[in-house]
A and B are shown apart, each in its own frame.
Chain A
Amino acid sequence: MADKTVTVANLYKSFGAHSVFEDTSADIETGSVFGLVGLNGSGKTTFIRLLLGLLRPGRGGVRVLGFEPWLHKQEYYRRVGVILEHDGFAGNLTVARNLRVFGDAKGLPWRQVEAYVDDQWSGTFIHKELRGSATKVKHLSRGQKMQCALCRAFLPQSDAFFLDEPTVALDVDAIDHFYSLVNSARNRGATVLISSHQLSAIQELCDTVGMLHDRAIHILKPDARKEKFRSWLIRCAGDEKYKAIIEAGCGAPAEYRNGCWRFAAADPATVVPKIVSGLASAGCDITEVRPDEEAIKEKMRTLSRGPGG
């Protein structure tokens, strides 16, 4: 299964009587960015820890890059980049000294780490730290520490990245830089998993979005590149004849919710104007037409409330 970087099959995991995953399955395709969302306590961090072999699956299989994470193979850890709750840097050491340690851990010569920082981090404070400054990490701000953690996570040679809340405390420039790092990783065929509550980042960066809810992963946004899926929204009356026009136009089921018709358009540039024109001809009073950008947020709410919630 070379096209799947992560394969989770029939996973069970519990802590005492508290079950976190029950018969959960999920795949993450190689070269994609997967967004993991969920309410507090839904198991996002636990899921990442399972992928990293920090926790052992109760039952079922977890494979990443062909490795079974729980076996703690050094070759596996050299191919993954990680952001977890703590930045992982030793406060008493400088940024450069810390990066040297993490470079050693991945078997990277120092000159390769320097070349990476020159290439990917020029113009940032991390580059200055490597080229003269010698600030101890404990004197850095929280946002700077997060940037250091990103710098560590994206060290060369990684093929998979597991990032738990990677945008916390980042300023706008740092967030832009983070986006470019993720896109660059995707472009070279690496796989990125981002767990975050910042839905705007998830919406913008991720090819696929999954929500952890009720001990399972529900796909909220399928991979648009694969399925040519694009969610759209037209605000108008919920008349059945409008539904027929929309479904005929997009060739997919339309759903009326919260005063809007929602549908998937494989080729929005052609399909959406055609539908709008059809609705207008039928006398429909349209007040809003736009991509369904809030789909993830609304689907999360719908899912978490449950049927009839």
Chain B
Amino acid sequence: MKQAGTIVGKEWACFTGSEKGVFVVYAVLVFVWSFLPRYNAAGGPGFLSGLWWLSLSVIVSSGFANSVFAAERISGSMEILLTCGFSRNAVVLGKTAFVVLVSFVLGAVCLLLSLAWAMGNLQAYLVQAAMTDLLLYSGGAFMGAAAGAWMSIRFSSPRIMPFANLFLVIVICAAYYVAAQFIPMSEWVLFLMTALAGSVFLWRAIKDFHGEKVIAPVDI
């Protein structure tokens, strides 16, 4: 657990040491994304809210998963990380935890901004709904991070990972919304679906990190 913490700290320091441009991109993304909930609060189609947050979670988590998993594998530095004394589980869990953590921070900021924009009409945009959205977002971020960990090993071209992640969330959402047409169900089910998918991907990623594929050649 301590080693996973060291990995989280290392990745966090790497992120905060990035060029300013990286922060600008994420700031713009969060700022722009925070406006839809206001539209919903003003009477827009409420069901879009879940999709909106899940999409953001996948975009953000895929971006980070790309840099902490795929980029390390492509550059070859993953080999060093796996042989320098960290347990392999600590590497996978630490990196996944970092992606979830940083995605959660960005999502929380986005949600707070959206609440600020809806301040004049806060009755409609209930705090409970905001919490559901944050939960959905967290489930999506977890799934994106875990799927990223697994795809970074399984895909010979890990750079297509964000697209695959987006496709995955679309499939899950489609399944949920189609099922919801016939059986009324809350968005908690959608959260559970993403959390379950994330758990399966994480389990598979841990397994694959103990195999040879983790250092297999990649297409760039």
Question: 7 extra interchain contacts, Cβ-Cβ under 8 A, other than A53-B83, A101-B10?
Answer: A52-B83, A72-B87, A74-B86, A84-B79, A85-B76, A90-B13, A93-B14
Chain B interface, DSSP helix/strand/loop, else mixed: helix
- Contacting B82 at CB < 8 Å: which of A54, A87, A90? A54
With A92-B17, A101-B6, A101-B10: A72-B88 Cβ-Cβ less than 8 Å: yes
- Contacting A77 at CB < 8 Å: which of B76, B85, B212? B85
Q: State A106–B86 Cα separation when bound (angstroms).
A: 7
- Contacting B84 at CB < 8 Å: which of A49, A53, A72, A105? A105
- Contacting B80 at CB < 8 Å: which of A78, A84, A97? A84
- With an 8 A cutoff between CB atoms, is A193 at the interface? no
Are B77 and A86 in contact, CB atoms less than 8 angstroms apart? yes
- With an 8 A cutoff between CB atoms, is A229 at the interface? no
Q: State A74–B88 Cα separation when bound (angstroms).
A: 9
With A72-B210, A82-B80, A84-B76: A97-B13 Cβ-Cβ less than 8 Å: yes
- With an 8 A cutoff between CB atoms, is A102 at the interface? yes
Mask, B194-220, CB within 8 Å of A = 1, is 000000000000000011101100000
Are B77 and A88 in contact, CB atoms less than 8 angstroms apart? yes
Task: List residues 1-37 of chain B with CB under 8 A from any CB of chain A.
Answer: 3, 6, 9-10, 13-15, 17-18
Q: How far is the CB of B16 from chain A (nearest CB, A)?
A: 8
- With an 8 A cutoff between CB atoms, is A80 at the interface? yes
Chain A interface, DSSP helix/strand/loop, else mixed: loop
- With an 8 A cutoff between CB atoms, is B75 at the interface? yes
Interface centre among B10, B76, B85, B215 (most CB of A within 10 A): B85
Q: How far is the CB of B137 from chain A (nearest CB, A)?
A: 26
Which residue of chain B lies nearest to A82 when distances are taken between CB atoms in the complex? B83
Tally of A interface residues using CB under 8 Å: 30
- With an 8 A cutoff between CB atoms, is B81 at the interface? yes
Are B212 and A106 in contact, CB atoms less than 8 angstroms apart? no
Are B212 and A93 in contact, CB atoms less than 8 angstroms apart? no
Report which A residues bind B (CB closer than 8 A): 49, 52-56, 72, 74, 77-78, 80, 82, 84-90, 92-93, 97, 101-102, 104-107, 136, 152
With A49-B215, A92-B14: A80-B6 Cβ-Cβ less than 8 Å: no
Question: What is the number of contacts between chain A and chain B, taking CB atoms within 8 Å?
Answer: 83
Are B3 and A104 in contact, CB atoms less than 8 angstroms apart? yes
Q: How far is the CB of A42 from chain B (nearest CB, A)?
A: 18
- A101 cross-chain contacts in B, Cβ below 8 A: 6, 9-10
Are B17 and A86 in contact, CB atoms less than 8 angstroms apart? no
- Contacting A80 at CB < 8 Å: which of B17, B75, B79, B83? B83
Are B10 and A82 in contact, CB atoms less than 8 angstroms apart? no
- Contacting B79 at CB < 8 Å: which of A86, A89, A90, A102? A86
Are A102 and B84 in contact, CB atoms less than 8 angstroms apart? yes
Interface centre among A84, A97, A104 (most CB of B within 10 A): A104
- Contacting A82 at CB < 8 Å: which of B3, B84, B210? B84
With A82-B84, A105-B84: A54-B13 Cβ-Cβ less than 8 Å: no
Q: List 30 A-B contacts (CB under 8 A).
A: A49-B215, A52-B79, A53-B83, A54-B82, A54-B212, A72-B82, A72-B210, A74-B85, A80-B83, A82-B83, A84-B79, A85-B76, A85-B79, A86-B76, A87-B77, A88-B81, A88-B84, A90-B10, A90-B14, A90-B77, A93-B13, A93-B17, A97-B13, A101-B9, A102-B85, A105-B86, A106-B84, A106-B85, A152-B80, A152-B84
- B83 cross-chain contacts in A, Cβ below 8 A: 52-54, 77, 80, 82, 84
- B14 cross-chain contacts in A, Cβ below 8 A: 90, 92-93
